[in-house]
Chains A and B, each alone.
Chain A
Amino acid sequence: MSDKQHHHDAPKNPYHESPRTDEQNQQLKERVEKIESLLIEKGIVAGDALEKLADIYENDLGPMNGAKVVARAWVDAEFKKRLLDDATAAIAELGFGGLQGEHMIAVENTREVHNIVVCTLCSCYPWPVLGLPPTWYKSAPYRSRVVIDPRSVLAEFGTMLDDDVEVRVWDSSAEVRYLVLPERPPGTEDLSEEELAKLVDRDAMIGVTKISTP
C-alpha cells in the first residue's frame, strides 16, 4: 500500500526496494554466521542469550502492549492522568518496561494538537510498548522529512489535519522514548477496554495515523 506519489520534486526513493540480490543475501547470511560463531568462541556472546533475546523481541513485545496502555487510558481517567504525569510508572502498572523504555513519556493527541514521533539520528523507538520499529520508521525518507514537513508525511499516511491543528514532532535524541496517546474515536462508548485495545494500532501510537470509528 505504498504511496507512489512523489514528494514535490524529490527523486523516487532508491534505498528501500530490497536492492539485495539473492547472492548478496547469501553472502550476508554467511558473514553473520561466521561473526556470530567467532564471537561465541571468543566469549563475547553466549548462544543461549542470543536465542532468548531474539525470541523475546520476535514474540513477546509488540504494539499489542502499547494498545493495552492506550485502551486503559481511554477508560480510566485516573490511569490516564498517571500516564501523562509519569508514563514509565503507569506503563509498568500493566507489566511493561525494559530496554528502550526506561524513560517513557506519553503525549496526548487532541482536537488542537497532533503528536508524531521520530528519531532523526538513528531509529530510537519504545520497544517495550511497540516492539521493534517497522522499516519505514528507520528509513531515510521518514527520518529526514518528518521534522521539516510533518504534514506531507501525515498526508502520505492518509492523515489530513486542519491548518489550525498544531503538529508536534518529537525527535527522540536521548534515552527518553515517546508514545502517542491517540484520540478515542467517536461512537466507541459501548466498547470494553479489551475491544478498544483491538482498535489501537502501531501507526497511531507513532502518530502517523488517527484511529477511526470501527
Chain B
Amino acid sequence: MNGIHDMGGMTCFGVIEREENEPVFHSDWERRVFAMNIASLAFLGPIDRARHAIERMDPLHYLATSYYEHWLAGIETLAKDLGYLTDEEIESGKVIDSKDTPHPPPDAEMAEGLARGGMPATREDGRQEAAFKVGEKVRARNMEVRGHTRLTLYVRGKSGVIARLHGTHAFPDTAAHDQGENSQPLYNVRFEANELWGDNVDRKDCVYIDLWEDYLEPAK
C-alpha cells in the first residue's frame, strides 16, 4: 500500500533529534512491547504480516506516536484480526473467550534460540534461477500494490544497475497475506541520485536497495 510509512525521499520532517546516552528502553512498557512482539511471532507472524499491521495504522496516529507504540498497535491489530483478542477484552483486561492454539507458546529456551539463531529468509524452494546478472541495467516496475510491499515509492519506474545477487528469499508481498512465500531471487540494485530525485541533482550520491525479482524488469 502507498502509506505514510514509505517516507524515503520526503524532506518535510525537520531536524534529526538525538538523545545522548539513550537507554535501550525508555520505560518498562517499551521493554514489554518489544519482548511481546518477538515472542508472539509464532502466532502473529510472519514478520511481513506484522510489518503490514503497522502500515495499516491511521497516518496521523503513525506520525504522532513512537516506535514502540507502532509495535503495540501492530500486536493489537494482529491479535484481533487472527481472533486471539477482542476490543472488549483489551478494555476490561479479562479473558472472555479463548481460541484454541495449535501449540504452546515458545518458552524461554525457545525464545533464546530464536534470538540467537534467527529466522533466515533464504529458501531452497521457489525460483532459484536469477533472471538478471550483476552489472545489468534494470527498471523498478511502476506498479500498484494494494497490500504489503517492500517496493518503495521512490524507486518505482526508476532505472538502476544490479549490484549484487542475494539468492532466493521469501517474497513479502504474498507472505504477508497468507498467499505463500513465492520465494524468488533478491537483488541489491544501485540507483544514482539524479535518476531518483531529479535532473537538477548533481550530487555524487547513490542509493543501494534490495529488490525482489518480481519488482524488476529489463531496462528499456
Q: Does A140 have its Cβ within 8 Å of any Cβ on chain B?
A: yes
Q: Provide the main secondary structure of the chain B interface.
A: mixed
Tell me the minimal C-beta distance from A187 to chain B in angstroms: 26
| CB-based contact B85/A39 at 8 Å | yes
Q: Kindly list chain B residues whose C-beta atoms are within 8 Å of the C-beta of A131.
A: 24
CA gap between A49 and B104 in the complex, in Å = 12
Give, as a whole number of angstroms, the nearest-CB distance from A157 to chain B. Answer: 8
The answer on a CB contact under 8 Å between A136 and B17 is yes
Interface size on B, residues (CB 8 A): 92
Asked if B33 and A32 make an inter-chain contact with CB atoms under 8 angstroms apart, the answer reads yes
Given known contacts A15-B64, A120-B7, A101 and B85 CB-to-CB distance under 8 angstroms: no
A138 to B63, CA, bound (A): 12
Which of B20, B32, B110 has its CB near the most chain A CB atoms (within 10 A)?
Answer: B32
Task: List residues of A (111-165) whose CB comes within 8 Å of B's CBs.
Answer: 118, 120-123, 128, 131-132, 134-136, 138-145, 147-151, 153, 156-157, 163-165
Interface residue count on the A side (C-beta < 8 Å) = 96
Query: Cβ of B63 and Cβ of A120 under 8 Å apart?
Result: no
* A180 and B119 alpha carbons, distance in the complex (Å): 22
Contact count A vs B, C-beta below 8 Å:
308
* Chain A residues within an 8 Å CB radius of B118: 97-102, 128
Chain B residues packing against A (C-beta within 8 Å):
5-20, 22, 24-25, 27-29, 31-36, 38-40, 43-44, 51, 54, 63-64, 66-67, 69, 72, 75-76, 79, 84-85, 89-90, 93, 95, 98-99, 101, 104-108, 110-112, 114-122, 150, 152, 154, 164, 166, 169, 172, 186, 188, 193, 196-197, 203-212
Could you show 6 A-B contacts with beta carbons less than 8 Å apart? A10-B11, A20-B66, A25-B27, A33-B32, A35-B75, A174-B186
